[in-house]
Structure 1
Amino acid sequence: MKITNVETYLLDVPLKQKAITDSQTRLESVEFVAVRIDTNEGISGWGFNWNYTKGSRAIQTIIDDTYAPALKGEDPLLHKSLMKKLHYTNHFIGQVGITRVALCAVNFALWDIRLKVANMPLWRYLGPAKEKVKAYNTDGGWLHTTTDELVRDMNALVERGFDAVKMKLGLPDPREDYERVKQVRQSIPKEVKLMVDVNTVWDLKTAMVWGRKLEEFDIYWLEEPMNPFNKTDHAKLAQALDVPIAVGETIYTKYDFREYIEAGAVDIIQADATKLSGIDEWLDVAALARCHDLEVIPHTNVQQKLHVQLAAASSNVPMVECCYESIMDIWEDPIQVVNGYYTLPEEPGLGCKLKDSVLKDCRIG
């Protein structure tokens, strides 16, 4: 089998709900770079990556100008050697950031081909550790809502069957964050897990003071409290607080995760295959976490179908985030949540192809 063609699609997919906000971003649409790898045996593999701010044209350019020429004529089933080859094309323009995001999209497409040849979905190919995957929901906890709206939305999620929910923090005055958490915690059942996410905007002093105050509300984890590149301060915080510290959404290599773990700076690993170099590196991080008896709970916005399959094949992944529900139907055969659990796909392949209508109507490049 040989690769004959590589084609990319740059897309801007609008949300169907109102704009949503966290402490960093106001979001009205999601950019995607989709990649299709064709072979001489008629099997095509689909990969993607995404961004909730603009700039994905740079990702498309890396694939078109650097990776596509290196892939043509190669055997797609030798995906590990191809990933190594592509990685070392980028000595002078960096091996993380845009290049890593682009490499990841290629990785997904190569896996899609492998899985279609094997006639299996990813979770069955890897070997299942479980047959259903619990979902927790973030879609009721956005920062732009009033406290009354927040309480209403979080309770609506509980009524739908979610027994774990997450809300955003990071308002200019942390006292407002504290009051919002208090109102939510008092309004939802005690057995429902409540997580909070700062999206990196606190400094160490703020995280120490308000992290301690939040402990009275039985917070299941405190997510991304500070700059993710500052492992030293995360270690100080993790050692000072009883509430578990979760990081990973903006960590891009397995080596960074290893340093976090070795520093005692993290309790919950939120590895995201779309931020790492793809499935293989995500599996490395999950195995690393398992060696330290740490849970992996993937950061997920639009990539639920991918992470649910990885979760099903991993013994230390208890649940997967449910977010951006309004656009979950952009995928062919979209994944579903029923009574708080994700259904697992059965169709062969990775299952991460966007619908033809999305590829056509939302294409900008």
Structure 2
Amino acid sequence: MNKSIQIKSGRSQDVQYPLKNGAGSDAVHSTPIYAYAVCKLQTDCSLEGIGLAFTLGAGNRLVCGAIDYLVRYVEGREINELMADFGTTYKKMADDPNLRWLGPHKGVTHLALASVVNACYDLWAKSRCQPLWKLLLDLSPEELTNTLDFSYYEDVLSKQEAMSLIIEQEAGKQNRMGILKDGYPGYDTSIGWFNYSEEKLVRNIKKSIDQGFTAIKLKVGSNEVERDIQRAELVRKTAGPKASIMLDANQQWNLPKAIATCRKLMSIDPYWIEEPTHPDDIQAHITLSKEVPIPIALGEHVPNKIMFKNFIQSGCMAFNQVDAVRVGGVSEFLLISLLSKKYNIPVLPHVGDMGQIHQHLVLFNHISLGHPALLLEHIPHLKTYFKFPAQVVGGKYKTPQEPGMSTDLKDPEKVKKALSC
């Protein structure tokens, strides 16, 4: 019997975490501020739903303003009743007539939607005393698809087709449950931030390998191509021939430069090139994929299900990096994962949540949808601020056991005081 819990009110919280010593830097962001626009759902009991959307500082307050507007759609609702047909409420929020002109389905309003949606899924899992991955695994195909909005997907993935896809994966589901014990493989992004010196790169790589990681990421996209080449060659030399090395250009190249630079980077045999050019330029990605045989990973800045639909259909996407704190939350993430499965494109999320939510979602993707358990990005910089931080041991994410989606944050002022001691 599911416990009846009513959402009494919702509010936003602006939480920002400046990083130090070059951490988080890339070709665009030299002094990043990691920030969460948090949605908190208060209930008629002690449980609280916590949702996150990821930003990089100053824009956080704009997203919080939109959160405070959108929570009206879930206030007063009983959580199980709400989630039984959540796809309908999702569509109403995404298409709000007073906010839709600001998108539609992208930017500030869509990030706010993500935070509200994620808070609903967190509260739903807490109401059933289950971690999110367990809740999702236990849902029937109909219950799961009822939480999704299939509008504009009818031509490529109907609700009935999505249910059939889930049912087709039932045969191997039990065998795939072993991942819960073994742990989900991670890859280390924190070794290769853009502003790190070469000496620090080498130290970080050796430390990462000692910790059990076999896959690492380097930030590229410098104005000086030779800097990128030199650093990439250093990473390959230090990590060895068996390591998987990802390269992330953070959208810094136009198409001609992307082609020319990627051809030079082929010498280190990269696992992928991430965000090589403007994130909206589908044709440029198609051309690059034909010109240079390096797999393309993208999705961090792809804003919604329609853009993902087009990228997936285009044939240029080798790895799907959809992020549940960048698109419209868990609901849209699951829909995009289903379409990606139909087209046999693996999902390796970008972790704006530092892996907290996505450790749940990749388990669902693998066990219920049959996505390959390849890699999940690991960035440890905000670990101190979470009540139940993601645990990575021997290069693998340990399966979370606490109810919810691991988004509960510690009081930031108390954390600052503790860190200053």
* TM-score class normalised by the smaller sequence: over 0.9
SS at match of 2:213: coil
Unaligned stretches of 5+ residues in structure 1: none
CA distance in 2, matches of 1:164, 1:67: 39
Map of 2:242 onto structure 1:
191
Map of 2:150 onto structure 1:
none
Could you tell me which amino acid in structure 2 is paired with residue 53 of structure 1?
G
Alignment of structure 1 residues 246-265 onto 2, 5 Å:
246-265=297-316
Offset of residue 349 of structure 1 = 1.2
Out of 96, 117, 125, which is 1:115 matched to?
125
Contact map agreement 1:49 1:274 (CA 8 A) in 2: yes
Superposed CA offset, 1:156-197 (max 9, x none): 211221100000001111111111111211221211101100
SS at match of 2:334: helix
Contact map agreement 1:330 1:358 (CA 8 A) in 2: no
Out of 119, 143, 162, which is 2:213 matched to?
162
Map of 2:65 onto structure 1:
61
SS at match of 1:21: coil
Map of 1:138 onto structure 2:
189
Could you tell me which amino acid in structure 2 is paired with residue 92 of structure 1?
W
Percent identity between the two aligned chains: 28
Alignment of structure 1 residues 298-337 onto 2, 5 Å:
298-315=349-366, 316=371, 317-323=373-379, 325-337=380-392
Offset of residue 68 of structure 1 = 2.7
Unaligned stretches of 5+ residues in structure 2: 138-172
Contact map agreement 1:271 1:282 (CA 8 A) in 2: yes
Map of 2:33 onto structure 1:
29
Alignment of structure 1 residues 7-156 onto 2, 5 Å:
7-15=11-19, 18-64=22-68, 66-77=69-80, 78-79=82-83, 80=86, 81-89=88-96, 90-95=99-104, 96-127=106-137, 129=176, 130-131=179-180, 132-156=183-207
SS at match of 1:246: strand
SS at match of 1:298: coil
CA distance in 2, matches of 1:125, 1:68: 23
Q: How many corresponding residue pairs?
A: 360
Offset of residue 41 of structure 1 = 4.2
CA gap of 1:115–1:176, structure 2 versus 1, over 3 A, is same
CA distance in 2, matches of 1:123, 1:321: 17
Contact map agreement 2:354 2:378 (CA 8 A) in 1: no
CA distance in 1, matches of 2:413, 2:374: 32
SS at match of 2:317: coil
SS at match of 2:79: coil
Could you tell me which amino acid in structure 1 is paired with residue 319 of structure 2?
I
Query: Does 1:278 find its partner at 2:320?
Result: no
Could you tell me which amino acid in structure 2 is paired with residue 126 of structure 1?
L
Contact map agreement 2:187 2:214 (CA 8 A) in 1: yes
- Normalization by structure 1: what TM-score? 0.93
Out of 283, 289, 295, which is 1:232 matched to?
283
Offset of residue 342 of structure 1 = 0.8
SS at match of 1:296: coil
CA distance in 2, matches of 1:321, 1:294: 17
CA distance in 2, matches of 1:233, 1:306: 31
Larger relative helix fraction = 2
Q: How well do the aligned residues superpose, as a CA RMSD in angstroms?
A: 1.9
Superposed CA offset, 1:107-143 (max 9, x none): 1111111111221101112228431211100111011
